[in-house]
Amino acid sequence: MEELYSKLSDCIEFGKINKAAPFPPQMKDQDGADEITKQLLDAGASADDVLQKGLIIGMEKVGVKFRNNEVFVPQVLMSAKAMDAAMVYLKPLFAESGGSQKGTFIIGTVEGDLHDIGKNLVSMMVEGNGYKVIDLGTDVKAETFIKVADENPGAIVGLSALLTTTMGNQEAITKAIKAHNTNIKVAVGGAPVTQDFSDRIGADCYSADPQGIVEYMNGVFAK
């Protein structure tokens, strides 16, 4: 099992989607994220372990290499595609653990930001914990968040930002939502976001991972 986790992490790191994929050349004819995820699940691995012990580790390695200019956008996109190939299997498993819908979560990546892997993970986990999720995608403007929040009274709005530049939009969107209706609860997250930043911009919840937002929502909707 450990060997499979390590192979899966390599597939994410090097962007190997499936066996048929020609990229990367050094992994030609080897199983990709698609096959290895399936093998792990067939062998009894939990969806959470596949995520934490394989996929996230691979993506962290890509992140470090990207920062150090050792890989560039096209390679990172291949990693994101490999991640998506694995997610196809994980999504229904995360969804299964939920019961009837406890409340609504509206999520999107803020205007100017196209990163969606973390947002998609948060969506999946929240959905899997029994909530209805409305995913607005990436590059979402304040007006869209506000319109959809108005259409779904009581829903919690989640804003994802991965760039220090788009954290400014996260702040502007949070403030626009609060100015429109102070009762709409806003949760923020994304790699550069901190609790301190969240407090400063007036968000109601910050979490570094999907579990934190699930716990926050469980608290809000239990009341």
Q: Give residues in contact with ligand B12 (CB under 6 A).
A: 59, 62-63, 66-67, 73, 76-77, 80, 112-119, 121-122, 158-160, 162-165, 187-192, 207-210, 213
Closest to ligand B12 by CB, 28 or 46: 46
Least gap, CB of 122 to ligand B12 (angstroms):
5
CB of 190 to ligand B12, least distance (A): 4
Between 40 and 78, whose beta carbon lies closer to ligand B12? 78
68 burial via Cβ count (<10 Å: 0-12, 13-18, 19+): exposed
Question: In angstroms, what is the minimal distance from the CB of 174 to ligand B12?
Answer: 11
Q: Which residues of 70-105 are buried (b: 16+ CB within 10 A; e: fewer)?
A: ebeeebbebbbbbbebbbebbbebbbeebeeebbbb
Which two three-digit tokens encode residue 83?
């991640």
Select 36 or 159, whichever has its Cβ closest to ligand B12.
159
Q: State which amino acid sits at residue 213.
A: I
**Cα separations in angstroms, 86 against 81, 89, 101:** 9, 6, 25
Nearer to ligand B12, 42 or 183 (CB): 183
- Smallest gap from residue 29 Cβ to ligand B12 (A): 26
